[in-house]
Amino acid sequence: MSPPSLIETHPNLSGTAPVALSYELFPPRSPKAAESLWTTIGELEATDPDYVSVTYGASGSNRDTAVELINRLLLETTLRPLAHLTCVGNTPQELAEIIGELLDHGVRGILALRGDQPKDGGEQAKGSLRYAQDLIELIRRVEQRRSALLCAGKVAVGVAAYPTKHPESPSEAHDIEVLLAKQRSGADFAITQVFFRTEQYADLITRARRAGVTIPIVPGVMPLTSVRRLKRLGELTGVEPVPELLEQLASADTEAERLRIGVRATVDLANAALDAGAPGLHLYTFNEHAHALEVLDKLALPRPARSISRLNAIARRQVLAS
**Residues known to be catalytic:** 24
Smallest gap from Cβ 65 to ligand FAD, in A, equals 12
Residue 157 vs 259, nearer CB to ligand FAD: 157
Using the minimum distance from each CB to ligand FAD, give the nearer residue, 134 or 248: 134
**Residue of 40, 82, 114, 142 that binds ligand FAD (CB under 6 A):** 114
| Integer angstrom CA distances of residue 316 from 39, 42, 99 | 15, 11, 31
Among 23, 56, 189, 195, binds ligand FAD (CB under 6 A): 56
d(CA 2, CA 24): 45
Pick one of 82, 98, 103, 113: the residue that binds ligand FAD (CB under 6 A): 113
**Cα(53)–Cα(21) distance, rounded to whole angstroms?**
11
Closer to ligand FAD by CB, 176 or 295: give it: 176
Asked if 215 is part of the footprint of ligand FAD (rule: CB under 6 A), the reply reads no
Return the DSSP state at 19. P
Which amino acid, one-letter code, is at 19? V
With contacts defined by CB under 6 A, name the span among 15-23, 168-176, 285-293, 309-317 that binds ligand FAD: 168-176
Taking CB under 6 A as the binding criterion, the range among 6-14, 98-106, 166-174, 239-247 that sits at the site for ligand FAD is 166-174
Which H or E run contains 123? none
Q: What are the backbone dihedrals phi and psi of residue 197, each rounded to the nearest 5 degrees, phi first?
A: -115, 140
Q: Is 115 in the site for ligand FAD (CB under 6 A)?
A: yes
Q: How far is the CB of 114 from ligand FAD (least distance, A)?
A: 3
Q: Could you tell me which stretch among 29-37, 99-107, 112-120, 144-152 binds ligand FAD (CB under 6 A)?
A: 112-120
Q: Is 221 in the site for ligand FAD (CB under 6 A)?
A: no
Footprint of ligand FAD on 222-281 (CB under 6 A) = none
Strand partners, 22: 51, 282
**Angle at the Cα of 175 from the Cα atoms of 224 and 96, rounded to 5 degrees:** 90
Strand partners, 111: 84, 158
Q: Is 133 in the site for ligand FAD (CB under 6 A)?
A: yes
160 binds ligand FAD (CB under 6 A): yes
Q: How far apart are CA 157 and CA 189, in angstroms?
A: 7
Residue type, 246: L
Amino acid making up residue 131: Y
Residue 27 Cβ vs ligand FAD, minimum distance, rounded to whole Å: 10
Min dist. Cβ of residue 296 to ligand FAD (A): 18
Question: Can you say how many angstroms the Cα of residue 322 is from the centroid of all Cα atoms in its chain?
Answer: 27
Shortest distance, position 234 Cβ to ligand FAD, whole Å: 14
Q: Which of 45, 50, 143, 175 binds ligand FAD (CB under 6 A)?
A: 175
User: Would you count residue 286 as binding ligand FAD (CB under 6 A)?
Assistant: no
Looking at the Cβ atoms of 23 and 56, the one nearer to ligand FAD is 56
The arrangement of strands across the sheet holding 220-221 comes to 217-218, 189-192, 156-161, 109-113, 81-86, 51-54, 20-25, 280-284, 220-221
The secondary element (H helix, E strand) that includes residue 90 is: none
Cβ contacts of residue 280 below 8 Å, gap of 6+?
19, 20, 21, 22, 50, 216, 218, 219
Which residues are registered as beta bridge partners of 281? 21
Q: Report the interface residues with ligand FAD, using CB under 6 A.
A: 55-58, 84, 86, 111, 113-116, 131-133, 160, 166, 168-169, 174-175, 178, 181, 191, 193, 220
